[in-house]
Structure 1
Amino acid sequence: MAPRPEGTAPGVLSPEDLLRVLLVEDDDGDALLVEELLDDARVKVELHRATSLDLALEMLRLHDVHCILLDLGLPDAVGLSAVERLQARNDPPALVVLTGHTGIDLGVQAVAAGADDYLVKGEVDGDLLGRSVRYAVQRRRSKEQQRALYRSEVRAAETARLERALLPTPLVTDETIAVMVGYIPGGNGLLGGDFYDAVERPDGSVLCLIGDVAGHGPDEAALGATLRTAWRTLVLSDVDPAQILPLVERVLVPERARPEVFVTLCQVVIAPDRTSVDLYLAGHMPPLLLQGSCSELPTTSRGRALGIPVDGGWRVERVPLEGPWALMLYTDGLIEATLADDRETALPAKADVARTQDALPRRERLGVQGLIKAVDTELANGDEGLVERVFRLVRTLHGGPLVDDAAVLVVGWGGPDQDARGARTATLADSDEWSQ
């Protein structure tokens, strides 16, 4: 008998499929009759036998079985108790009951208890037995497909709720401020803990945030959503920006699933007159300054990540800016991308970037300088759709879906003479499109 596989996906049963059938029957004569009927049936069967229910349960624990043929009169189980014990298992196989009673009551009760079909001994031939086994297996597979679809829909809905909490609509009322956001999932399909936000206060200052919870999965995503919500609450409560990161850390410590989980954050406070920003870094990369070309915002005040039990806090650093300007806050999913060939950091022509690179070795990280070059390449074509274009270029350089999630928040100001409304875009890539 084949070992029980992990996570086998159900499918449509083919006439050529070999079905592993476990006969639970203590009578040797009846067992021989069933074996002969299956030999006559138009179905490929690998037959195994257990003489008691306890032995059958042990065999099911160790091996994969498509269908059970169950006698209701066993030494250690009488009547429907055997059906109930088999159905109490996780993902039980198809079940066809064999009964010696000619009345239909017991068979109907067995089906009501979870059996897929019932047959009366002495009234069944090979074709009927074969059809019953095949139909029972297909019926059980169809039920499993329906359950898998339902679970998938539930997970998709839960993921969508988490993503909405991680990736909210920025609350920026000043129409001269451009806000462009984006998020793409990693190629492993697990939801990460990347998050961002932007909120304008009544005094005209605009607070922006981008963060990354270490790790991947629902726990990290839920923690990221919690921290992002806590941050927005503190901002809307007019808490001093210098006190926000310590308070967010106080939320992090009891909420994290494991004591080794930490979070990196970048908080930017844009002055009401838009001529300077206050920068707070908690183990995170500084933003990129987009001002004609792309460069890293100069800073000397990078503090520790949230949740790391070492001394030291976070010191604000004020950076003066002259309009027009834009800042790109991002998570490390972009710079952790690896180049798909052995080129140096020089960015090739776009026609070369688009070529297929699957067969080329990967050995070099894109890094901050590589990301700066990628952003410069796309800035040459204007700022319309900038976030999505940068995502696509980095993915092309990587040679496919990124390993880690990546989030980007671009906030910009066109200067005191700007009359046009700032761009507001969102690239929230779904898995179907961006996993190709």
Structure 2
Amino acid sequence: MKNRDNLWGRRLSVLIFVWISLLAVPAVGDELLIRITEGADSAIPISVVPFSESGQMPAEEKVSRIIQNDLQMSGEFDPLPPEQMLSLPSEGSDVFFRDWRLLGQRYVLVGQVSNAGGTLQAQYELYDVSQEKRLVGATASAPLSASRSLAHHISDRVYEAITGVPGAFSTRLAYVTLERLVSGPVYRLQVSDVDGKRARIRLESDEPILSPAWSPDGTKLAYVSFETGKPAIYVHELASGQRQRVADFSGLNSAPAWSDDGRSLLMTLSKDGNAEIYRMNLASGDLKRLTNHWSIDTEPTYDHTGQGFFFTSDRSGGPQIYHQASDDAAPRRITFGSRYNARPRTDSSGDYVYYVHQREGAFSIARTNLETGDETVLTRTESDESPSLSPNGRMLIYATKSGDGSVLTVISAEGGAAYSLPASRGEVRDPAWSPIVR
């Protein structure tokens, strides 16, 4: 408990740092290395038949292979290896359902990819094997350099056709890596695909970068940087690289969280002597104080209504999760299962709140059912932190200790199948999952 209590204190400390390097053009980052660590017993059998190809194809992974990997990493599908398939059809007229039933498959995806003058075009069809019915028949295209985007798009369509829930494979991850060099530590704010590919460095510094948070339109990141000699909150426009320091008050400036309309940020400030929750209008800079207590109030996040918010407070003697239904409502304590519950994150339906939970010396990710109050511990590792929920509510990413460093781990929101995303060098922490942008 002492180590985590020290971390709690460090997050609220004002430290002195001296240098930062900004990258005007995003540099290629360190791709995360996906490792499937656990499958789900109830995973749906699906066959992603290798797409036929015509014309010059990109040097990257094949589109159908990326789709297969996407579906597998969700934990909800069990793709059949191509070498076990009895045939390799590329269009619906060549699909013989009896063969796929013999293989125990519930769905089959077939398709064709062609290079038409530098544009990739994909025609694909998804079939329900038992009903012998086509569920999806569509065409999609992308520049030759964006074959991964094309594949993720098809994965999203397939996922939604089967589950009824929008896919999140076209979304992105933001995270911070730490490389410990002889000359000193190097922190990098990076953005990648959800499978860790196409990583790009957005900010590099020899001082800490913390708490990245996506704007609702997916175009900006808010985060905390120590480059001014103390923690300050920045808003960073990803397309242009331009950024603005929005909170640099005396004391603590931390834990930014966007409103649904992108016009304001929740944040923790101690400018008046104590750590409290404020809301800042980004256009005017106007502040409204939302909590008022002698305790530490921090780590705010909006609830599913966009009107109330969850936050961490030690007003009961140790860090616990509270909910405030509106600006002027009285906070209500949510967690009771242990003496340490912090870093709340809610789902879009308002059914659950997820958080870091301490019990018997271990720090895990847990969730509480907001209707019943029932608590479920979702992870089995001993030092987990920084949970972030996928925008479709089906997956949860968090940072966890691995050896002397840390990696990102993704699990189903029910606590089932998992995969890890270690950095190719150094540690990776503070993940944030982007919204779905149509």
Shorter-normalised TM-score: what interval? under 0.3
Q: Which has the higher strand share?
A: 2
Normalising by structure 2, we get a TM-score of 0.27
Normalising by structure 1, we get a TM-score of 0.28
Q: Which has the higher helix share?
A: 1
